[in-house]
Each structure stands twice: as structure tokens, then as C-alpha cells.
């Protein structure tokens, strides 16, 4: 089974528990994005957010 790759800041990185994921639209172009990153007034990261899987074609968030 091929490993799925997620592009995170220019580096392809294997997803944890790599398995074939497919969006309801039929696409297998899944990427991981970090959402909910919190930054304070000084520019320091307070919360790193959470990783979500997003379809590369329709943009739907997958569980």
C-alpha cells in the first residue's frame, strides 16, 4: 500500500497511520493543514492548532 504524503511547508511528510483515503467526491488528493494556530501580540505562537485532512480538489474537510 503506498504511503500518502502531506505537504507541510515545502516538505513532503508521511501521514500518521498512512492508509488510502478517498473524499466523497472521488479524489485521493488529500493534504494535511494546520488550523487554529494562535499567536500573541509579540508574534509568539501560543497554540499550534490541530491537523485536519483536506481534499485537494473540492476543499472538504475529512475526518
| pLDDT tens profile 10-58 | 555 555 555 677 888 888 888 888 888 888 888 888 888 888 888 888 9
| 3 state SS of 6 | strand
Q: Which domain holds residue 23?
A: 5-62
Retrieve residue 39's grid coordinates.
Answer: 499567536
At residue 1, the pLDDT reads 38
Tallying the residues shown for the chain, one arrives at 63
What's the number of domains the chain is made of?
1
At residue 7, the pLDDT reads 46
- Residue 33's closest CA among 15, 45, 46? 15
Amino acid at each position: 500500500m503506498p504511503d500518502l504524503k502531506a505537504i507541510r511547508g515545502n516538505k513532503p511528510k508521511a501521514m500518521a497511520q498512512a492508509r488510502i483515503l478517498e473524499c466523497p467526491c472521488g479524489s485521493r488528493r488529500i493534504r494535511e493543514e494546520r488550523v487554529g494556530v494562535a499567536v500573541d501580540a509579540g508574534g509568539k505562537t501560543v497554540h499550534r492548532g490541530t491537523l485536519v485532512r483536506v481534499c485537494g480538489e473540492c476543499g472538504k474537510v475529512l475526518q
